[in-house]
């Protein structure tokens, strides 16, 4: 009964948390509106060209003329969607004039200005290296208008470089006091579910028998510490780059102890490399600690271990099954394998890490794929991941639960960085592939034939059946 109550309460918290995150996620709304404006502007030019010839060529040679050219007919039509998007709170004329002065023939040759939100989009030709150009333009912008605006060098829907200038008010909002209180509540709830996971491993419910809480500490406490290590990895890396993170929203779950945490980025990211490093640091810290617990637990396992585990359960993960066979040897062929509690801690920690490495939305894996391969491929990877979770959920309800959480809380990609054009280096690209490979090695079960050859059960249960 206590588990059912916990499930209902957690579901309610997730729904509320989702509404809070969507309210805070103004960056994604800005990105969607930006793409809509650019697409509609391009469509308007195409229609004008078909009707009476394209007049943009007369102004392509002079950026000043292009910026001040007469508005597009579509923008003069008050009923058009483009005009509707451009009318509210345009950038003040004096600010716009100052912003136009930041461009140069050796950086970005602006040929057209499109009012957007309280800022503007500048279309033109990139004349220098993206990283140096973005830094120079941002420096020029700060000299002209101070810290009231932010400059982004991104690509439009046609993969052409554009400069977007937005007011500082469009920055990610800081964590509010109610959100901080919710963060603390979720942290305490996660500590309880971690202990509940430990109790379930010993076949008792801590909520029904709270006097036995000390028996859960050998699993619940180190599991909770792996979750904390994950978040500290994000925090220390973000601090190194002077990036501010929101308070983490832990996701308590009685099946695993937790699904990890949602951590929103509150600063404007300078480039995709910073996004990758922050996203990668969490799984690296939590996953490494979990892996150490797993290996230590396997070496400490033996006939005197206090936790019996059906051998077939080791078939639930390729990585855990192969490591168990390598370290425990023929012991995995027995009906029950005596294992140390740290094996459970390491396994659960690796599963939680692997779930967060799925390349979907704002999960760590989704942010890493977005940083390495770009937003377009990241969106496709998100769809594939959600479809894969939906298929896998036919055999495992945990996959369905996680798919629903990702769909409602984390499906959108991270907001663009200020320099979206410069890609991270090859080392980071390799680390991304390694992380994705390890994610699959943890989440995919051993095939019955391979498990049979290794002598690990015959018809073992599916993933996460600890």
Would you give the DSSP letter of residue 312?
Answer: G
425 vs 61, residue with greater confidence = 425
Give the residue among 359, 383, 348 at the shortest CA–CA distance from 440: 359
Q: What is the pTM of this model?
A: 0.78
Give whichever of 163-167, 201-205, 222-226, 395-399 has the largest mean pLDDT: 222-226
Across the range 49-71, mean pLDDT stands at 42
Instruction: Enumerate residues 6+ apart whose C-beta is below 8 A from 328.
Output: 298, 301, 337
395 vs 182, residue with greater confidence = 182
Question: pLDDT tens across 311-343, in order?
Answer: 788 888 899 989 988 898 888 888 888 889 999
Instruction: Enumerate residues 6+ apart whose C-beta is below 8 A from 105.
Output: 127
Task: Round to whole Å and give the CA distance between 345 and 32.
Answer: 41
Q: What average pLDDT is seen over the chain? A: 80
Ordered strands of the 161-167 beta sheet:
108-116, 119-126, 161-167, 149-155
249 vs 92, residue with greater confidence = 249
Asked if residues 357 and 378 have their Cβ atoms less than 8 Å apart, the reply is no
* Strand spans (E) along 127-178: 149-155, 161-167
Listed in sequence order, the DSSP H helices in 147-262 are 177-201, 217-240
Question: pLDDT tens across 222-262, in order?
Answer: 999 999 999 999 999 999 999 999 999 998 887 888 888 98
Three-state secondary-structure class, residue 156:
coil
The residue with tokens 């912008």 is 141
pLDDT for residue 35: 58
* Count of residues in the chain: 466
pLDDT for residue 41: 55
Pair of tokens at residue 393: 């959920």
Is residue 32 pLDDT above 80, yes or no?
Answer: no
pLDDT for residue 23: 46
Asked if residues 337 and 314 have their Cβ atoms less than 8 Å apart, the reply is yes
């Amino acid at each position: 009964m206590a588990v059912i109550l916990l499930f209902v309460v957690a579901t309610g918290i997730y729904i509320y948390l989702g509404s809070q995150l969507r309210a805070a996620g103004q960056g994604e709304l800005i990105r969607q509106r930006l793409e809509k404006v650019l697409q509609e502007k391009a469509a308007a030019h195409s229609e004008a060209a078909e009707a009476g010839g394209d007049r943009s060529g007369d102004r392509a040679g002079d950026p000043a003329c292009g910026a001040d050219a007469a508005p597009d007919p579509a923008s003069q039509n008050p009923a058009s969607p483009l005009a509707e998007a451009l009318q509210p709170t345009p950038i003040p004329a004096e600010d716009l004039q100052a912003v136009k002065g930041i461009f140069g023939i050796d950086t970005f040759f602006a040929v057209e200005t499109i009012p957007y939100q309280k800022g503007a989009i500048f279309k033109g030709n990139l004349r220098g290296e993206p990283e140096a150009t973005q830094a120079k333009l941002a420096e020029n912008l700060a000299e002209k208008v101070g810290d009231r605006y932010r400059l982004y060098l991104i690509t439009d829907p046609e993969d052409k470089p554009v400069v977007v200038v937005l007011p500082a008010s469009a920055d990610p909002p800081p964590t509010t006091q109610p959100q901080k209180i919710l963060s603390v509540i979720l942290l305490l709830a996660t500590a309880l579910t971690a202990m509940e996971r430990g109790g379930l491993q010993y076949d008792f419910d801590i909520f029904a028998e709270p006097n036995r809480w000390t028996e859960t500490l050998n699993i619940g406490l180190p599991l909770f510490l792996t979750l904390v290590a994950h978040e500290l990895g994000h925090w220390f890396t973000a601090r190194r780059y002077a990036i501010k993170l929101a308070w983490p929203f832990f996701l308590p779950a009685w099946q695993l102890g937790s699904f990890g945490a949602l951590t929103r980025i509150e600063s404007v990211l300078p480039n995709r490399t910073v996004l990758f490093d922050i996203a990668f640091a969490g799984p690296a810290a939590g996953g490494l600690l979990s892996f150490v617990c797993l290996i230590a637990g396997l070496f400490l396992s033996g006939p005197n271990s206090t936790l019996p585990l059906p051998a077939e359960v080791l078939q639930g993960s390729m990585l855990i099954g192969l490591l168990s066979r390598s370290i425990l040897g023929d012991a995995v062929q027995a009906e029950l394998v005596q294992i140390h509690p740290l094996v459970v801690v390491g396994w659960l920690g690796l599963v939680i890490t692997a779930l967060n490495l799925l390349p979907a939305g704002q999960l760590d894996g989704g942010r890493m794929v977005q940083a390495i391969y770009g937003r377009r491929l990241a969106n496709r990877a998100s769809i594939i991941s959600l479809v894969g979770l939906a298929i896998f959920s036919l055999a495992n309800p945990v996959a369905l639960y996680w798919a629903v959480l990702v769909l409602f809380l984390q499906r959108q990609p991270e907001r663009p960085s200020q320099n979206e054009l410069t890609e991270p280096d090859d080392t980071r690209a390799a680390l991304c592939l390694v992380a994705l490979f390890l994610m699959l090695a943890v989440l995919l079960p051993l095939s019955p034939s391979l498990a049979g050859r290794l002598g690990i059960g015959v018809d073992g249960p599916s993933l996460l059946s600890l």
